[in-house]
Amino acid sequence: MESTTKNLITIEKAKTSKISQVDFNNLAFGSVFSDHMLVCDYKNGAWENPKIVPYGPLSLEPSAKIFHYGQSIFEGMKAYKDENNDVFLFRPTDNHSRLNISASRMSIPEFPKEFFMEGLKTLLELDKDWIPQTPGSAMYIRPFIFASGKGFHASPADEYKFMICLAPSGPYFSGEVKVLIEETYSRSANGGVGYAKAGGNYAGQFYPTQLAKAKGYQQVVWTDDNTHENIEEAGAMNIFVRIGDTLITGPTSDRILDGITRKSVLEIAAAEGIKTEVRTITVSEVVEASKNGSLKEMFGAGTAAVISPIAGFGYRDTDYDLPQLENSYASMLKKRITDIQYNLSEDPFGWRVKI
Ligand code: PLP
Ligand code: COI
């Protein structure tokens, strides 16, 4: 990774480390945080130099626009440590590009790439001991920006904070994943903000997801808001369906997050000789394929969830089980992508970035 702005980042180290309190063999997802965090303020029309400070609470104006108008965006990334204690990121500049796509949509000032990349590198070097090495675990990285500027006027804030927090994490899902195909609620709409990683997109999912959880499903599969006939994505994951031996995922649009795992899976699958299709997936074809036995797999793909096989889906009060395959595409693709991420294999695509 290039190092051009190192001196621009000031570091205030934590007086004591909390690392001895963490059980690295039993990590949940995103619930413990490393000793430091990065903070960068936008004031007077410019991003100031980033600071690394001890992880801890913030002090904000009650009228800060984040609280009232939800001007907030985030990214999700992971850092992986290999057996030589070398640390790697996966396609990090894609996260930076997507952060700025989200920023534009939410009227948040774009964040400079040098600050993003150098901030990640400096923070990860400082808290390197926190990066887990236990199988299935990684350092979940949460870059985010929110409106810290004050005032009740419903207009973009004049001040923002960009921050990065680090959470050593285990798997996102602890057990099997069953999904409910949703027809009443929508996650996003044409012309909306579905393609942005905007905080409010997730808040809006909580209620329908709680209803689905009460019925025994872990995630909602969102369908298009217009007809509810097409499968779009699953909670915090893009969704793949295998019918016969063809792997299908829906096209991205202004309703769907352009997932980095999704596009990586498509490239790996093609390189493995799997027939892939990026096209609209209808609910009726998935139900029909389940009934006639050609629906072999469904899985979600995302940074937090990696590749999560779907055990079954519910649709209009009927449950459909997926077969349990010995040699599933999901397990092969998960191995290929995590081998690249953890530096266990060659990286023919050039995605791995050593820090
Ligand atoms: N879709 C949504 C709504 C998400 O929140 C995520 C997670 O980031 C994804 C898809 C997967 O994106 P990525 O693979 O870039 O993590
Ligand atoms: C990620 O996969 O990084 C995400 O952002 C999902 C998150 C909502 C847990």
Summarize pLDDT for 138-157 with one digit per residue, the tens: 999 999 999 999 999 999 99
Asked whether the predicted pLDDT for residue 5 surpasses 70, the reply is no
Q: Give the per-residue pLDDT at 181.
A: 98
Amino acid making up residue 285: E
pLDDT tens for 60-100 read 999 999 999 999 999 999 999 999 999 999 999 999 999 99
Ligand found nearest the CA of 238: 1
Nearest CA to ligand 2 atom 8: 236
CB of 90 closer than 8 Å to CB of 78: yes
All residues at 6 or more sequence positions from 177 whose CB lies less than 8 Å from its CB, including other chains: 218, 219, 300, 308, 309, 310, 311
* d(CA 83, ligand 2 centre) in Å: 26
Q: Which two tokens stand for residue 134?
A: 């236990």
Nearest CA to ligand 2 atom 6: 236
DSSP-derived secondary structure letter, 198: B
CB of 249 closer than 8 Å to CB of 255: no
Q: Give the per-residue pLDDT at 47.
A: 97
The Cα–Cα gap between 9 and 83 comes to: 29
Residue 31 DSSP SS3? coil
Long-range contacts of 250-254 (CB under 8 A, 24+ apart): 250/278, 250/279, 250/280, 250/281, 251/278, 251/279, 251/280, 252/195, 253/190, 253/194, 253/195, 254/188, 254/190, 254/191, 254/192, 254/194, 254/195
pLDDT tens for 262-271 read 999 999 999 9
Q: Give the per-residue pLDDT at 1.
A: 37
Return the closest-CA partner of residue 32 out of 165, 162, 126: 165
* d(CA 157, ligand 1 centre) in Å: 26
CB of 278 closer than 8 Å to CB of 241: no
* Signed CA dihedral, 29, 177, 234, 214: sign only: negative
pLDDT tens for 27-37 read 999 999 999 99
pLDDT tens for 175-201 read 889 999 999 999 999 999 999 999 999
CB neighbourhood size of 351 (10 A): 19
Amino acid making up residue 209: T
- How large is the average pLDDT for residues 50-60? 98
What atom of ligand 2 comes closest to residue 261's alpha carbon? 2
How far the first Cα of the chain sits from its last, in Å, is 6
* d(CA 262, ligand 1 centre) in Å: 8
Q: Which string of b and e fits 62-84 if b means at least 16 CB within 10 Å? A: eebbbbbbbbbbbbbbbbbbeee
Angle at alpha carbon of residue 271, lines to 268 and 273, rounded to 5°: 115
CB neighbourhood size of 28 (10 A): 14
The Cα–Cα gap between 7 and 194 comes to: 37
pLDDT tens for 306-326 read 999 999 999 999 999 999 999
Same topology for domains 3-169 and 177-341, yes or no? no
Q: Which two tokens stand for residue 216?
A: 């025994």
Return the closest-CA partner of residue 162 out of 177, 149, 143, 179: 143
Q: What are phi and psi of 254, to 5 degrees?
A: -75, 0
Residues with CB under 6 A from ligand 1: 76, 233, 236-238, 257, 259-262, 302-303
All residues at 6 or more sequence positions from 346 whose CB lies less than 8 Å from its CB, including other chains: 340
Tell me the best of 303, 333, 338, 341 to mutate to test the pocket of ligand 1, counting ligand atoms within 8 Å of each CB and taking the most.
Answer: 303
The CATH code that applies to domain 3-169 is 3.30.470.10
Mean pLDDT of the chain, nearest integer: 96
Return the closest-CA partner of residue 146 out of 154, 156, 131: 156
Residues with CB under 6 A from ligand 2: 76, 202, 236, 302-304
pLDDT tens for 203-213 read 999 999 999 99
Name the residue ranges covered by the structural domains of the chain.
3-169, 177-341
Q: Is domain 177-341 annotated with CATH 3.20.10.10? A: yes
Q: Give the per-residue pLDDT at 171.
A: 92
Give pTM, 2 decimals. Answer: 0.96
Report CA dihedral (278, 281, 287, 290) to the nearest 10 degrees: 0
Q: pLDDT band for position 6 (50/70/90)?
A: low
pLDDT tens for 104-138 read 999 999 999 999 999 999 999 999 999 999 888 99
Residue 202 DSSP SS3? helix
* d(CA 304, ligand 2 centre) in Å: 5
